[in-house]
Structure 1
Amino acid sequence: MVVAALAGFGVPEPAKAQSSPAKVTDPVPMIELRTPAGGRFYTLSPREAADAVSKHRFTREPGQVGYWRTASFFGSQPVFRLRGGSGYLLTASTSERDALVKQGFADEGVTGHLWSTQQPGMERLLRFSKSGEWRVAFESRSGELTGQGYRADGPLGWGHTEWIRAGAIYFGTFNPASTDVIGATKRTFGRDGDYWGGVRDFSGRDPAVAQNTQGWSGNFSHLSPSIGFYDDSKPATLEKHIDQATGAGLDFFQFYWYWDTTKKKQPERFDVSLNAFGAARNRLDIDYTLTVCAHPWGNLGIPKEDFGTVADDFVRHFRQPNFLRANDGRLLLTLCDRRGIGNGSDADTREFISVVRQRAASALGEDIMVLGYWEAMLDPAAPERWGTEGAYCGVRIDHEKSYARYAATLPEYLAKGPSQFMRCAAQNFDERPRFPHLIPDRSKIRFYPDQTPELFGDVLSTLRKDIAGSRRISAVDNFVSIYAWNEWHEGGIIEPNARDGCRYLGIVHDSLGLRTGKGC
C-alpha cells in the first residue's frame, strides 16, 4: 500500500527551500530573449529569464529554441554560455570556450545539455552569427537566416523541436467505498453495492442492467470502460490505466485530493484509489500530482486546525520519486477549489499554502509551486492574493454552453491566463448519468450537446499552437492538463471505452504531437 511506502519520514531542522532542476529528466524549453543592445540571451531557467526581463529590460522572443535537458545524461554534451561585452554566445566546444575566455569573454557556465548524436524526432541546433550578434536555431532554418545575412558557425548538438507534457485529471471513486453512489443507486434503481450506478444504466453495455437514459436520446455505449466496470481500489486496475496512459504518451495523472473534516483524513473512496496507484508495479512509469478540492460544503473542507496535518500528508507524497515537478524542479501542487480552505478567505488560503511550503522546506529542503484553479484568470490579481504562483485551467461548462463555442473562444481565453499558467483541454462535460439518483432536479443537469472528437482535436491543436508561439516565462509553459481520464459521471473521459476504443487517446497523442508512447 502507498501509505506504508510513504510512512516513517523524519522532520529535520528547517532548511532553505530550493528548486531541484537536476531532478527533471524531461526536456524543458530553451527560452530566447533579446538584450537592450540587440543581442540574444538563452536560458532554461524561467527565474533567470524573468529577472532578465524585470531587472535588465530584456524582452522575451516568441516560442522556444528547442527543448533541452537541465542535467547531463548518457549520450549528452554540455553547451556553455559566454558573455562578451553586452553580447552572449553559446558553444559546445571546450576549446572555443577556453579561447574566448582568454580573449576577455566571461564564462557563465553550462546553460543546458543536448544530445551528441541524432535521435528519433530530433533536429540539429546550430549557432549563427552576424556583426557581433550570436543566435541559436534549428538547422532547418539555415536558409532563412543566411538569407538575412547570418553565418552558420557550427553545431551545438541535437534537440527536440517540441516536448509537450500532457496529463489527465484522475477521479478515483469507482470502488466499494463510494457509499454515496451505492446508496443513491439502491434508492433509485434498487440495486445494492453498485458504485457505477447511472453510468451503467446509461451505457446499455451491461446485460444484467437495462439501459435507462432517462428520456435523452443518443448512443451512450461509450459509457463503459474498455477494461470493464472496474474497481479502482485494486492495484491491477491502476496498472492497466498506467499502461493505457503512457502508451499514448501521457506524462502524469492529477489525482483529485479531498479531506474529511470529521475523520481527519482523506475520504476512503478517494484514498483507496491513490493507495492502489502507490501499490501499482508500474507506478514509476508515470508522474502524478495532487489536485486539492477543498469544497465549501458537507465535510470536504480543510479547517485551519488541520493545515499542518494535511501539509504533512502532502510531504509524504512529495517524497515520491515520481511526484510531478515543474520545469524548474519545483514540486507541483494544484488547487481545484480553495473555497473550503479555512473560512475560504484569501488570508486563509495564503496561510494554508505557507504551511505547506514550510513543511516541505523543513522536511525536504525543497520549494513547491502552487497553481490555483482557472477562475484566477478572470481576476489577474487572484494568484498574488492567494499566495499561488499562477493558475491551471479546467472545464468551462458554467461559462460556455456550447462545445463548439468553447473551442472557438479558446485562444481568447488562453490569452487571459497569468504568466505561470498550465493550459488545459476539456474532452467533454456531460453529467446526465447523475440523473436522477445523484442530481434529482433535471433542470440542473449540465452537458455539451455538440461535442465531437474532431472539435476536441481542434482544442488540442489550439493548445499546441499556443505553446509553440508562447511569450510566457513559465515553469509549466509546455504542460497541458486534460479533463479528464475517467470522470464517467461528468462526461470528461479519455480513458479507452467500449465504443470508441483508444480514439480519444490517439487524438491527444497526435494533436499535441506527443513524443513518447507506442500506442494504446
Structure 2
Amino acid sequence: MLRRLVAVAAAAVVAVTGLGVPENAKAAPAKVTDPVPMIELRTPAGGRFYTLSPREAAGAVSGHGFTREPGQAGYWRTAPFPGSQPVFRLRGGSGYLLTASVSERDALVKNGFTDEGTAGHLWSAAQPGMQRLLRFSKSGEWRVAVESRSAELTGQGYRVDGPLGWGHAEWIRAGAIYFGTFNPASTDVIAATKRVFKREGDFWGGVRDFSGRDPAVPQNTQGWTGDFSHLSPSIGFYDDSQPATLEKHISQATGAGLDFFQFYWYWDTGRKKQPERFEVSLNAFGAARNRLDIDYTLTVCAHPWGNLGIPKEDFTTVADEFIRHFRQPNFLRANDGRLLLTLCDRRGIGSGSDADTREFVSLVRERTKAALGEDVMVLGYWEAMLDPTAPERWGTEGAYCGVRIDHEKSYARYAATLPEYLAKGPAQFMRCAAQNFDERPRYPHLIADRSKIRFYPDQTPELFADVLSKLRKDIAGSKRISAVDNFVSIYAWNEWHEGGIIEPNARDGCRYLGIIHDSLGLRGGTGC
C-alpha cells in the first residue's frame, strides 16, 4: 500500500507555495498539556491543510487564500508526552499529507514531497474515551478525521489509508467565575448587615436571610416567594480566606471536570493593592494543598466608581502584580501557550478611554515579555461582543462574552437567542454560559431601591442545560480561528448575592455541576 501511495502522491507533486515549517513544530508550547483542536483548512486548489497553531491558520487564510473548514480534526497535543507518537506533515501537489510513519515520510520526501516537520502528537495506543484518527485519500487529496466519520467519508468516495494514532473527538475546557468575598474582610457587607439586620460580623448578610437554612437567622425574603434554600452552600456558610475552603471548592470543581477558576480581580487605589476581601481569598487559593489540580486566571474589574479604578500612575504596579501570578505553573494558558488575562470592566482603566486601555494592555504585555519572556493574550469584556471595533480600539485580541442580564430580561429568551449572539462575536472569543442572575439577596442592605433589583424570573435547570448544549454544538461546528475556541467561561461558581451559583448547595446538591459535566461532555468525575 505504501508503494502505491508514494507513486500516486509523487505523480501529483507540482510547484506550490508552502507555508514553511509550522509554528508549533519550531517551538512547541510545551506548557500547554491539554489537547488542542486540530484546525482543518481548504487550500485554494482544493487540498486540505492541518495545523494546531491558530497563528499559522490565520496566516494561511489571510496570506494564502485558504478557507477554514467547520469543526476540528480531533484534539491533539502540541508536545511529546509519555505514550505519544509524533505525526508529520508533508506538502505535495495541491494538498498536505499527515503521517505517523517515519518510513512513509522518508519515502515521500525522496519522491518530491517537502517535510514540514511535526504537526502534533497523538497517543500511540488506545485510551479510554478516545477514537482513532485516520487518514483518508481521494484523487491526490488527503483528509484526517476521527474513526466515527469513516462511513460518512467513504460514502463520499474516500478510501482509508490507515491510522495516525489515538486522540479525543472533543475536548472542552470549562471554568467558572470565582467571587472571593465571603470572609471577615468584607467590611461593606458586614456594615450593611449590621445596619439593616442588626447582626455583628456577618459577611453572608442577605444570603443567609433568604436561605432559611440557618436556625439562628429567620428567613427573610423581603416579600418574594419561592424556595431559596439553594442559597445555602453544601459545605455551610464558609470563610473563603481559609485554604481549607478553597481545597473543598477545588475538589468539587475538578470532580465535575472543570478546568479553571476565573478570579474577579480588583484594585484598591488607596491600598495600592487588591482590596483585602479579594486578596485574602486569592491567597487562600494559593495556599490550598490541591491548587495545582486546577488552573486559574484573573478577570480584571476596573470599575469607574469608588476606589476600584486603576489610575495611570498604578499601571506598572498592577502589571507587576499580574506577573507574580503569571509565574505560577497553573496560570491559565490559551491553546497557543499564551498566558490568558481577561477584562470584566475597562471603564476604570485610567480615564476609561480607548487610548488608556491600549496603554495598559501594552504595558502588561511589555513587562511580562521582559520579565518572563512570555506573551499574554488579553480578552475584553461583553461590549467587545457587540462592537466588532472594540478589540482593536482597546488593544485586546477579542472578548469573553460575559453576562447578559441588562440585554435579555428573560432566561428563556437568553437561551433561545444564544446562537445568534455567538455568531456576532469577534473571531477570537471565549464562549460563556450564565447559570442564572438574581440579586434579590442584596435587598435592602446593599441595594436600597427595590425597583433596581434584577433577576431572571424564568430560569430552570433544563434551560441551563440547553444553553450548554448550544455552546457545545457551536464549538463542534466552529469555523473560527481562535486560541480559545474550545474554552467555556461559566457564570459563576459562587455569586451568592447575584444568583450565578454552580457550587453545590443545600437544595440542588451537585445538580448544576452534573448538568455542566454531561452537557459539555467533560472528562472525569460525575459532576459531584
* TM-score bracket for the superposition, by shorter chain length: over 0.9
Identify which of 466, 471, 478 aligns with 2:479.
Answer: 471
Identify which of 237, 246, 251 aligns with 1:238.
Answer: 246
SS of 1:128's equivalent? Answer: strand
Identify which of 197, 203, 206 aligns with 1:195.
Answer: 203
SS of 2:472's equivalent? Answer: helix
Deviation of 1:58 after TM superposition, in Å, equals 0.3
Does 2:227 align with 1:227? no
Rounded to whole Å, the distance in 2 between the matches of 1:513 and 1:348 is 40
- After TM superposition, list the pairs within 5 Å mapping 1:26-105 onto structure 2: 26-105=34-113
SS of 1:463's equivalent? Answer: helix
- After TM superposition, list the pairs within 5 Å mapping 1:408-423 onto structure 2: 408-423=416-431
1:180 is aligned to: 188
The one-letter amino acid of 1:299's match is N
The one-letter amino acid of 1:41's match is F
Deviation of 1:147 after TM superposition, in Å, equals 2.0
Deviation per CA, 1:202-245: give whole Å up to 9, x if none: 00000000000000000000000000000000000000000000
Instruction: Answer whether contact 1:172 1:232 (CA < 8 A) is retained.
Output: yes
Rounded to whole Å, the distance in 1 between the matches of 2:416 and 2:159 is 42
The percent of aligned pairs where both chains have the same amino acid is 89
The one-letter amino acid of 1:298's match is G
Rounded to whole Å, the distance in 1 between the matches of 2:28 and 2:250 is 26
The one-letter amino acid of 1:215's match is G
Rounded to whole Å, the distance in 1 between the matches of 2:118 and 2:433 is 36
Deviation per CA, 1:485-514: give whole Å up to 9, x if none: 000000000000011100000000000010
Rounded to whole Å, the distance in 2 between the matches of 1:186 and 1:19 is 57
Rounded to whole Å, the distance in 1 between the matches of 2:375 and 2:166 is 31
2:4 is aligned to: none
Instruction: Answer whether contact 1:460 1:511 (CA < 8 A) is retained.
Output: yes
Deviation of 1:430 after TM superposition, in Å, equals 0.2
Which deviates the most, 143-152 or 447-456? Answer: 143-152
Instruction: Answer whether contact 2:432 2:489 (CA < 8 A) is retained.
Output: yes
Does 2:366 align with 1:322? no
Does 2:137 align with 1:107? no
Rounded to whole Å, the distance in 2 between the matches of 1:464 and 1:422 is 13
Does 2:522 align with 1:514? yes
Deviation of 1:517 after TM superposition, in Å, equals 2.7
Does 2:356 align with 1:348? yes
Rounded to whole Å, the distance in 2 between the matches of 1:463 and 1:208 is 42
Rounded to whole Å, the distance in 2 between the matches of 1:228 and 1:149 is 60
The one-letter amino acid of 2:517's match is H
SS of 2:402's equivalent? Answer: coil
Rounded to whole Å, the distance in 2 between the matches of 1:244 and 1:459 is 22
1:499 is aligned to: 507
TM-score (norm 2): 0.94
2:460 is aligned to: 452
Instruction: Answer whether contact 2:192 2:445 (CA < 8 A) is retained.
Output: yes
1:4 is aligned to: none
Structure 2's unaligned 5+ residue stretches are 1-25
1:443 is aligned to: 451
The one-letter amino acid of 1:448's match is Y
Structure 1's unaligned 5+ residue stretches are 1-17
Identify which of 133, 138, 144 aligns with 2:146.
Answer: 138
Deviation of 1:144 after TM superposition, in Å, equals 2.0
Deviation of 1:516 after TM superposition, in Å, equals 2.6
1:128 is aligned to: 136
TM-score (norm 1): 0.96
CA pair 126-400 structure 1, distance change in 2 beyond 3 A: same
Instruction: Answer whether contact 1:256 1:292 (CA < 8 A) is retained.
Output: yes
Deviation of 1:104 after TM superposition, in Å, equals 1.1
Rounded to whole Å, the distance in 2 between the matches of 1:316 and 1:260 is 17
Deviation of 1:519 after TM superposition, in Å, equals 4.2
SS of 2:384's equivalent? Answer: helix
Rounded to whole Å, the distance in 1 between the matches of 2:314 and 2:74 is 44
Deviation of 1:360 after TM superposition, in Å, equals 0.4
The one-letter amino acid of 1:206's match is D
Rounded to whole Å, the distance in 1 between the matches of 2:514 and 2:303 is 33
2:442 is aligned to: 434
- After TM superposition, list the pairs within 5 Å mapping 1:5-16 onto structure 2: none
Deviation per CA, 1:151-173: give whole Å up to 9, x if none: 11111001101100000000000
1:118 is aligned to: 126
Rounded to whole Å, the distance in 2 between the matches of 1:37 and 1:404 is 45
Deviation per CA, 1:164-185: give whole Å up to 9, x if none: 0000000000000000000000
Rounded to whole Å, the distance in 2 between the matches of 1:234 and 1:500 is 25
Rounded to whole Å, the distance in 2 between the matches of 1:290 and 1:45 is 24
The one-letter amino acid of 1:512's match is L
Rounded to whole Å, the distance in 2 between the matches of 1:317 and 1:139 is 41
Deviation per CA, 1:300-355: give whole Å up to 9, x if none: 00000000000000000000000000000000000000000000000000000011
Deviation of 1:518 after TM superposition, in Å, equals 4.8
1:214 is aligned to: 222
1:360 is aligned to: 368
Rounded to whole Å, the distance in 2 between the matches of 1:20 and 1:449 is 48
Deviation per CA, 1:375-433: give whole Å up to 9, x if none: 11111000000000000011110000000000000000000010111000000000000
Does 2:286 align with 1:296? no
The one-letter amino acid of 1:279's match is A
Deviation of 1:85 after TM superposition, in Å, equals 2.9
Rounded to whole Å, the distance in 1 between the matches of 2:27 and 2:177 is 25
Rounded to whole Å, the distance in 2 between the matches of 1:151 and 1:416 is 38
Instruction: Answer whether contact 2:250 2:290 (CA < 8 A) is retained.
Output: yes
Instruction: Answer whether contact 1:376 1:383 (CA < 8 A) is retained.
Output: yes
Instruction: Answer whether contact 1:292 1:335 (CA < 8 A) is retained.
Output: yes
Does 2:292 align with 1:271? no
Instruction: Answer whether contact 2:28 2:79 (CA < 8 A) is retained.
Output: no
Does 2:383 align with 1:375? yes
SS of 1:295's equivalent? Answer: coil
SS of 2:85's equivalent? Answer: strand
Rounded to whole Å, the distance in 2 between the matches of 1:153 and 1:96 is 12
SS of 1:181's equivalent? Answer: helix
Instruction: Answer whether contact 1:19 1:367 (CA < 8 A) is retained.
Output: no
CA pair 19-194 structure 1, distance change in 2 beyond 3 A: farther
The one-letter amino acid of 2:151's match is G
Identify which of 255, 263, 274 aligns with 1:247.
Answer: 255
Instruction: Answer whether contact 1:20 1:330 (CA < 8 A) is retained.
Output: no
SS of 2:298's equivalent? Answer: strand
2:212 is aligned to: 204
Rounded to whole Å, the distance in 1 between the matches of 2:285 and 2:56 is 36
SS of 1:487's equivalent? Answer: coil
Instruction: Answer whether contact 1:20 1:366 (CA < 8 A) is retained.
Output: no
Aligned positions, number: 503
